[in-house]
Structure 1
């Protein structure tokens, strides 16, 4: 293949931006770029017919290497879907558009559970970020070096960013729950 037949994109999304990431990958597919593999940061595409693929992102509650994960992948394969990569529990899937609609969560309860799994992951990251910040604060207090005082300020930006993300994720969760109440 020539350089015009493949494309590599470096993009990073957070858990609360999962729908934006799905929308971007499907836009790439609509423009004739098939997602071939990804680790969540580096996305490899190859030229295809525009609109030939539908891309989905999932966050199962189990590891893909577990028996449940293998069963899930087999079910997806039977449905015509392919696993193309993953990162931190998130998995990237694609299915040919000519096979019909491709929805992983056809109901609001499934979407709610996906958001709850993403929120749990974010809470774990927040806990780690706070431990890192407390460690940097302790180092700054115990150190005689004046430049060390900057570290707690720098490390505080991580928990602040995670709290911002959790706020956005909670808004999405609230919207799904409100929609569920309307339909129940």
Structure 2
């Protein structure tokens, strides 16, 4: 089965993949919003999504390490890695202690901060083109980039919120 869905929140995406598995569909492949699924026993797998520290590094080492722990690397899209583990092997949580969760969400927040700067620069370029040329198509692209920027800003805000929550939990 092939499904198209755009996710910009990895936690929401993980929950969706788990729900699909509970409905009997195991995640198999991802490319630009297109998810490929295959039939499985309902609830057979648990999923996690991780953000690699760099995207040109030692992916093979990462995959080998994960497989040694019983985790299968399903797919990778740029720095995002899709992982699964059989539910029969117990719970699957990549980051279990507060410090590692804070580090993980800080890494995601910083990743999206860079994306936000790029989107804002593109937005202003499109806006200037719309103003200078008077062509509405540039205005449409500027509006689209503004929406994308707001979505990225929401991700950064959610990451900040989670980090602050974990810091409060740590201080208790």
* TM-score bracket, shorter-length normalisation: 0.7 to 0.9
Aligned match of 1:27: 19
Aligned match of 1:4: none
Number of aligned positions between the proteins = 171
Q: Of residues 106, 111, 117 in structure 1, which corresponds to 2:101?
A: 111
Whole-angstrom distance in 2 between the partners of 1:116 and 1:76: 22
- For the aligned residue pairs, the C-alpha RMSD in angstroms reads 2.1
What is the TM-score with the length of structure 2 in the denominator?
Answer: 0.87
Whole-angstrom distance in 2 between the partners of 1:10 and 1:117: 27
- Kindly state the Cα deviation for residue 95 of structure 1 after the two structures are TM-superposed: 1.2
What is the TM-score with the length of structure 1 in the denominator?
Answer: 0.82
Q: Name stretches of at least 5 consecutive residues in structure 1 with no aligned partner.
A: 1-6
Structure number with larger C-alpha Rg: 1
Q: Of residues 9, 13, 28 in structure 1, which corresponds to 2:3?
A: 9
Whole-angstrom distance in 2 between the partners of 1:19 and 1:70: 25
Aligned match of 2:139: 150
* Residues 39 and 85, structure 1, Cα contact 8 Å, conserved in 2: no
Q: Name stretches of at least 5 consecutive residues in structure 2 with no aligned partner.
A: none
* Residues 139 and 148, structure 1, Cα contact 8 Å, conserved in 2: no
Aligned match of 2:89: 99
* Residues 27 and 37, structure 2, Cα contact 8 Å, conserved in 1: yes
* Residues 140 and 152, structure 1, Cα contact 8 Å, conserved in 2: no
- Kindly state the Cα deviation for residue 147 of structure 1 after the two structures are TM-superposed: 3.5
User: Per-residue CA shift, 1:116-150, capped at 9, x if unaligned?
Assistant: 1111111111111111122123323433x364783
Q: 1:38 to 1:146 in 2, by over 3 A?
A: closer
